[in-house]
Amino acid sequence: MVAFPDQIGKGPHGGRMCELRTAVDRHGEYILATNPQYTEMDRVYLTNRILGMVGDAAADVPGKDDALANLDALIDAAVVNGVIDDAQSARAILGSRLMDLATPTPSGVNSTFNDKYQDSPQAATDWFYSLSRANNYIQTRAIAQNVAFRTPTEFGDLEITINLSKPEKDPRDIAAAARQQQSGYPACQLCLENEGYAGRADFPARSNHRIVRFELGGQTWGLQYSPYAYFSEHAIFLDAVHEPMHINARTFTNLLDIVTWLPHYFAGSNADLPIVGGSMLAHEHYQGGRHTMPMAVAKVERVIDLPDYADVQAGILNWPMSVIRLTSANRSSIAAAAEHIRAVWAEYSDPAVDILAVTDDGTKHHTVTPIARRMGDDYQLDIVLRDNQTSAKYPDGIFHPHQDVQHIKRENIGLIEVMGLAILPARLLSEMDEVRKYLLGEPNHMAVMHQEWADQLREQYTWTADNAETQLQQAIGHVFARVLADAGVFKRTDKGRKAFGRFVDQL
């Protein structure tokens, strides 16, 4: 929960304000404490701004000790007063507008970020992340609903998240969106034009959204945080221009520039092809944050030689997917080595292991998922090889979760999953409860798609009420490891290792 700042109950000079008791009063005080553009002289003005959004009848709604509880009370009052409809989108739009008052202007945010950056990059992101939580842009209460655990595997601990944070579509919003004329503005949810956008039935409210501008490759880019973060300080780096994602030599330079600018963050890119790419291919962007992903601590199991890049250490990673790790203090050399690997892979075929760069219809199938991080004075780039072919046997993708594991995960394996953090659908929470009942011999309504897997688990382990939850979580984690192995282009078999060696020989 977001509590009031330390200043709550005090005037701008520290005097007590014990008379504050209504939700309107409390939210006004929160604005004064959070947004430096306002002073005590603005109190009456802010009260009237709030009442204008929620209705004058809300003036006597009792206040709470928590900022988000007050926000809820004000939104509820607006519904009761008939100011807004009792629909999910209307509530979100009003909540975003109320929290916009507590948020500095975009120019103010950028000025403060840059000032704090002079102290340290971490001081700047600490402040911006704290603001993005305090103004409810990052949905802290929704994120807290997610179920998260770790599973030990031969590749280290994998992280599993059952994602409950994103709200389901409200039928009233779906109906309203169908009646609403599509404006095409903003072009997508990653555009700079989202900053301050009110929102509508088919598009999220962003009045309290702020973006830090920075220069990347001579172009303007933006830094923001994910509203439904999957890990600590889950950041998004977005191009100011709405253009499709692409992986090329500039990508590696951009990622290395980002971790030079913010050395305490990693930065990576989804692949730029369907099936192996992320869910937002229409807008060039990267993701990153202050989190040590499982893949980051994986070890090199085989050193390889890149003759033209003597100052770059290279090796194949001990990971279920096919990863080449590059390490060097020389940013230019490591970027050039990464582009060399990408270019060779783009044209590489090995039919013996179902790898084809281009199919008969001329479609290209190869790309990479790159991840950059700092290791002291060194730069590290993990290059994950991707192939998005399909076949009659694997219509969803040859190097995609195969049908026998899709009861757990069938979506694209994007950047976050590649690094060992599974984002699993919300349906699994209730479905796994039914599987647990089945494994304990209790009455259940287990989905048919889990039957074969559950039968295997029942034969493989002894199940009791005390161990069922832990064992089931571990079983889910091992399925995720298999999911990653399915996405690996060179399998971890003798045949696959030899095939990987043949590719490395081309480098």
pLDDT tens, residue by residue, 86-115: 999 999 999 999 999 999 999 999 999 999
Are residues 500 and 460 both part of a single domain? no
* Structural domain contains residue 130: no
The pLDDT, as a whole number, for residue 165 is: 81
156-162 vs 421-424, strand pairing mode: parallel
**Which 3 state secondary structure label does DSSP give 308?**
coil
The pLDDT, as a whole number, for residue 17 is: 41
Pair of tokens at residue 92:
């979100």
Higher pLDDT, 356 or 179: 356
- Compute the distance between CA of residue 399 and CA of residue 389 in angstroms, rounded to an integer: 7
* Structural domain contains residue 14: no
**Given pLDDT bands bounded at 50, 70 and 90, which one contains residue 7?**
very low
Query: CB count, 10 Å around CB of 311?
Result: 12
- Compute the distance between CA of residue 35 and CA of residue 129 in angstroms, rounded to an integer: 15
CB burial readout 252-281, b (16+ within 10 A) else e: bbbbbbbbebbeebbbbbbbbbebbbbebb
Are residues 284 and 364 both part of a single domain? yes
**Given pLDDT bands bounded at 50, 70 and 90, which one contains residue 180?**
low
Estimate to the nearest angstrom the gap between the alpha carbon of 279 and the chain centroid: 11
- Compute the distance between CA of residue 256 and CA of residue 267 in angstroms, rounded to an integer: 8
Handedness of CA 440, 442, 446, 452 (dihedral sign): positive
Does the structure show a pLDDT above 80 at 69? Answer: yes
**Given pLDDT bands bounded at 50, 70 and 90, which one contains residue 20?**
low
Are residues 260 and 376 both part of a single domain? yes
**Which 3 state secondary structure label does DSSP give 430?**
helix
Does the structure show a pLDDT above 50 at 174? Answer: no
**Given pLDDT bands bounded at 50, 70 and 90, which one contains residue 234?**
very high
Does the structure show a pLDDT above 70 at 431? Answer: yes
- Compute the distance between CA of residue 163 and CA of residue 234 in angstroms, rounded to an integer: 15
Pair of tokens at residue 459:
């034969």
Q: Describe the crossing of helices 427-439 and 468-487 by its angle, rounded to 10 degrees.
A: 120
Are residues 367 and 284 both part of a single domain? yes
The pLDDT, as a whole number, for residue 214 is: 98
Pair of tokens at residue 25:
């009063």
Does the structure show a pLDDT above 60 at 177? Answer: no
Mean pLDDT of 117-127: 98
The pLDDT, as a whole number, for residue 279 is: 76
Does the structure show a pLDDT above 60 at 1? Answer: no
Higher pLDDT, 197 or 182: 197
Among 4, 194, 232, 9, CA closest to 96? 194
* Structural domain contains residue 251: yes
**Which 3 state secondary structure label does DSSP give 303?**
strand
Are residues 382 and 429 both part of a single domain? no
The answer to whether 276 and 388 are in contact (CB under 8 A) is yes
* Structural domain contains residue 367: yes
C-alpha atoms less than 13 angstroms from C-alpha of 432 in its C-beta half-sphere:
19
The pLDDT, as a whole number, for residue 432 is: 96
The amino acid present at 22, given as its one-letter code, is: T
The pLDDT, as a whole number, for residue 360 is: 87
Does the structure show a pLDDT above 60 at 5? Answer: no
**Which 3 state secondary structure label does DSSP give 339?**
helix
Consecutive H or E run containing 500: helix 494-505
The pLDDT, as a whole number, for residue 167 is: 55
Does the structure show a pLDDT above 90 at 249? Answer: yes
Are residues 270 and 377 both part of a single domain? yes
Are residues 379 and 428 both part of a single domain? no
The pLDDT, as a whole number, for residue 144 is: 93
Q: What angle do CA 449, 388, 188 make, to 5 degrees?
A: 90
- Compute the distance between CA of residue 136 and CA of residue 244 in angstroms, rounded to an integer: 29
> Which residue range is the domain that position 384 belongs to?
241-399+492-507
* Structural domain contains residue 274: yes
* Structural domain contains residue 262: yes
The answer to whether 298 and 373 are in contact (CB under 8 A) is no
Does the structure show a pLDDT above 60 at 12? Answer: no
Among 280, 235, 230, 259, CA closest to 381? 259
Among 160, 226, 159, CA closest to 428? 160
Mean pLDDT of 1-20: 41
* Structural domain contains residue 248: yes
Share of residues in the chain with pLDDT > 70 (%): 93
Residue-level length of the chain: 507
* Number of domain units in the chain: 2
Are residues 363 and 458 both part of a single domain? no
* Structural domain contains residue 455: yes
The pLDDT, as a whole number, for residue 480 is: 97
The answer to whether 386 and 368 are in contact (CB under 8 A) is yes
Q: How far does the chain reach from its first CA to its final CA, in angstroms?
A: 52
**Given pLDDT bands bounded at 50, 70 and 90, which one contains residue 16?**
very low
Are residues 259 and 347 both part of a single domain? yes
Are residues 375 and 474 both part of a single domain? no
Higher pLDDT, 181 or 306: 306
The pLDDT, as a whole number, for residue 280 is: 83
Pair of tokens at residue 293:
């992903």
pTM of the predicted structure, to 2 decimals? 0.91
Are residues 395 and 471 both part of a single domain? no
Mean per-residue pLDDT over the chain, rounded:
92
**DSSP H helical ranges for 7-66:** 23-34, 43-54
The pLDDT, as a whole number, for residue 183 is: 63
**Which 3 state secondary structure label does DSSP give 382?**
strand
Are residues 472 and 499 both part of a single domain? no
- Compute the distance between CA of residue 220 and CA of residue 112 in angstroms, rounded to an integer: 18
- What is the tens place of the pLDDT at every residue in 385-405? 999 999 999 999 999 999 999
